Chains A and B, each alone.
Chain A
């Protein structure tokens, strides 16, 4: 029995998040990818070339275009009859859709898993990453979401999967897409970036947040993140939040600037390879997880660091 991975896409491109689910799913069996959308030939073509994908199922209908869980669930449930696992990456899309699928299938879902021990044993974080539970289930069918940072991305080339059309099901019409506003940014995606520069409440204002962090992020080619308090103070938009309730990141280098290091924040970045903390409070908990720390005024240190890195 094989794994059905639900592709995340915008009808034009495959979201790189899906590549992590493909890589993880390979450990469980033959990987098939479902591309459900509208006008998705290009996405199917990308999915076909992903290393490790054996088959791409393509379902096209206007009501699949926006990824509404109400519309996708009956399709995924129908296809799930042929699979032991239904899986996706634990993004907003995956988290929204998969529990609905699991409930209709009446099978358990295991969320955000970080390790596959064997076909029915998995590890996942609980309590904001302060503990991990190893769980085992006798269930013959399972729904899984994978934590992206715990699994590498599958290569975007090297595959040559068979592409098969599957029939769309009737529209449910109980929900309706209105609009989507995506923040425009030239920066790397927060969850995929090699370097992340994160600002906290100590930045003091939205202007400072931008003025202090942007030059440093530019020089490092980094994505910009924010602590919850910086988001709540409206220094940064919500989608930049790193932590238990925001994004989970694991870059090569994570620079926390004016971030105290609350449990909920650390939950989202503690798997970073190298953590740097810049904070004027020598007792801030962030120093307990930082590989390198500087105690001092961020308004002096960050511009100095930016200058030093330019050379």
Chain B
């Protein structure tokens, strides 16, 4: 069966972004960009399913500017078979992304679609659920374990207070939680081999999907800064301050 994996190029998770002085956006010029960590986990899971003989082809897809190609090459180096790059110059909302992914899924007919549970830039946590809705397919969000059979996929999900197990008919959409797996380190020969793998370019306009923004960013704000604290020398001093100064115990 075929697996489709969606990956996003985002600011590297170690970068602490700053808000631009004019409040128009965050400043991400000249910062390191990487594959969204949750998407890396989704790719790894697809590759493991292929290694286990459950999946025979992995198609990676990314939507965005030209440099998304790098992100797709990483997915190919990890083990994806081919890639589709939908070229878009503007930032797209999760619903628009879900509609574009649906257009790809309609053409590719994957039995299983894997995504990260959220992108670490917009922190929306919406795309997988929206894609599942548009495909009228079942969804398993925040997956920490995936068992794929011929007719269904059994997924363990991270929920508040513990975990739950659900079974989904195929085709199904799954969003990966951090606990699902540990993504592999990409080796140099794989990076070289990935350069030869097919990467198809698709123009946004050719998909016939309405992607205009419906939510506009008025401004981007700095988080409320916390007041600098003090270091105390002893436990007694700490307890005294918590009792009499902060009055929280």
Contacts and interface: CB of A to CB of B under 8 A. Distances in A.
A168 interface: no
Given A103-B130, A111-B124, A127-B26, A183 B231 contact: no
A309 B144 contact: no
Interface stretch (B46-54, B161-169, B195-203): B161-169
Nearest to A17: B160
Contact of B123 (A98, A128, A308): A128
A102 B126 contact: yes
A122 B159 CA distance: 26
B22 to A, nearest CB: 13
9 closest Cβ contacts across the A-B interface? Answer: A99-B129, A103-B133, A103-B130, A99-B126, A175-B138, A182-B162, A178-B165, A180-B164, A291-B229
Contact of B167 (A134, A175, A293): A175
Contacts of A98: 129
Interface in B109-135: 117-118, 120-134
Nearest to A180: B164
Nearest to B153: A175
Interface in A245-292: 245, 247, 252-253, 263-264, 270, 273-276, 282, 287-292
Given A96-B141, A305-B239, A292 B215 contact: no
B188 interface: no
B120 A103 contact: no
B231 A287 contact: yes
B214 A95 contact: no
B218 A126 contact: no
B160 A109 contact: no
B164 A127 contact: no
A288 B126 CA distance: 32
Contacts, number: 251
Interface in B233-249: 233-236, 238-239, 241-242, 246, 248-249
B11 interface: yes
A121 interface: yes
Contacts of B130: 99-100, 102-103, 109
Interface stretch (B62-70, B72-80, B220-228): B220-228
Nearest to B246: A274
Given A134-B217, A239-B161, A292-B230, A174 B168 contact: yes
User: For the side of the interface on B, what is the size category?
Assistant: 35 or more
Given A270-B223, A292-B242, A100 B133 contact: yes
Contact of B134 (A103, A132, A245, A252): A103
- Which of B125, B138, B241: most chain A CB closer than 10 A? B125
B214 A111 contact: no
Interface of B: 11, 13-14, 16-19, 26, 38, 93-95, 98, 117-118, 120-134, 136-142, 144, 154, 157-169, 177-179, 214-223, 226-236, 238-239, 241-242, 246, 248-249
A228 interface: yes
A217 interface: no
B95 to A, nearest CB: 6
A170 interface: no
Contacts of B121: 126-127
Given A134-B219, A135-B218, 6 more contacts: A69-B132, A99-B128, A139-B215, A291-B246, A292-B231, A293-B230
Most buried by B among A102, A123, A247: A102
A301 B94 CA distance: 46
Contact of A289 (B123, B221, B226): B226
A247 B158 CA distance: 12
Given A132-B220, A175-B167, A301 B235 contact: yes
B10 to A, nearest CB: 9
Contact of A295 (B120, B221, B231): B231
Interface of A: 17, 66, 68-70, 73, 91-93, 95-104, 106-112, 121, 123-139, 174-183, 189, 191, 195, 220, 228, 231, 237-239, 244-245, 247, 252-253, 263-264, 270, 273-276, 282, 287-295, 301, 304-305, 308-309
Given A103-B129, A109-B126, A292 B222 contact: no
A11 B224 CA distance: 39
A191 B158 CA distance: 16
Nearest to A101: B133
Given A108-B95, A127-B17, A136-B215, A70 B139 contact: yes
B238 A276 contact: yes
7 contacts: A69-B129, A174-B168, A178-B165, A238-B144, A275-B229, A276-B242, A292-B229
A179 B164 contact: yes
B106 to A, nearest CB: 15
B214 to A, nearest CB: 5
Contacts of B229: 275, 287, 289-293
A66 B157 CA distance: 13
Contacts of B239: 305, 308-309
Contacts of B227: 291
A292 B19 CA distance: 27
